[in-house]
């Protein structure tokens, strides 16, 4: 199935799934599980959440990952600091990329905004180059908006 069609199915499914819980950990855990199982190329899907000035590992699916990332560091910290989505076709060309999994080759990070404030990021890795493009950016920003709507506090 084309990537876009997968996203079109994913968004209402995400909304339905998340309406079952008002617990932030359950919400983020189920969101990462649903997104990861929808796309076989996604090797790691998860959240980093702002805690005491740093981005701390939250619910995720995939191999164990770095626990804490400074704002402004790596793809996650840069996306958070700039308040914008970052698509990296080849992580080896991104200055300061943090390699939690040495097999990761491409990545997308989408800021998680709640009531106008950025509270964390959604991070997705792939073991293949250039997995993410403008289609992923568009739909993952919509997915993150749905996730934020279902978050109480994190
Ligand atoms: N590569 C990220 C670190 C997080 S892991 O990919 C899960 C970065 O450079 O911020």
pLDDT, residue 154, reads: 58
- 58 close to ligand 1 (CB < 6 Angstrom): no
Over residues 100-145, the pLDDT tens digits come to: 999 999 999 999 999 889 999 999 999 999 999 999 999 999 999 9
Overall number of domains in the chain:
1
What CATH number does the domain containing 107 carry? 3.30.450.40
8 A C-beta contact, residue 47 and residue 125: no
> What residues make up the domain containing 111?
2-150
Report whether pLDDT(153) > 70: no
The answer, yes or no, to whether any atom of ligand 1 lies below 6 A from the CB of 136, is no
Q: What is the mean pLDDT of the chain?
A: 96
DSSP string, the chain: --HHHHHHHHHHHHHHHHTT---HHHHHHHHHHHHHHH-TTEEEEEEEEEETTEEEEEEEESS---SEEETTSHHHHHHHHHTS-EEES-GGGSTT---SSTT--EEEEEEEEETTEEEEEEEEEESSTT---HHHHHHHHHHHHHHHHT----
CA–centroid distance, residue 5 to ligand 1 (Å) = 27
Q: Whose CA is nearest to atom 3 of ligand 1?
A: 98
Do residues 54 and 70 make contact, with C-beta atoms less than 8 angstroms apart? yes
Atom of ligand 1 nearest to the CA of 104: 6
Could you give the CA distance from residue 52 to residue 71 in angstroms, rounded to a whole number? 11
């Amino acid at each position: 199935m084309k990537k876009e069609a997968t996203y079109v199915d994913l968004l209402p499914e995400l909304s339905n799934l998340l309406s079952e819980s008002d617990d932030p950990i359950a919400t983020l855990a189920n969101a990462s599980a649903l997104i990861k199982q929808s796309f076989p190329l996604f090797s790691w899907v998860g959240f980093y959440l702002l805690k005491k000035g740093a981005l701390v590992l939250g619910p995720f699916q995939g191999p164990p990952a770095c626990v804490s990332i400074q704002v402004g560091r790596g793809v996650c910290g840069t996306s958070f600091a700039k308040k914008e989505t970052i698509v990296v076709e080849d992580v080896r060309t991104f200055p300061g990329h943090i390699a939690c999994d040495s097999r990761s080759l491409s990545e997308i990070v989408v800021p998680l905004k709640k009531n106008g404030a950025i509270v964390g990021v959604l991070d997705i890795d792939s073991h293949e180059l250039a997995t993410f493009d403008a289609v992923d950016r568009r739909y993952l920003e919509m997915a993150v908006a749905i996730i934020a709507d279902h978050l109480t506090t994190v």
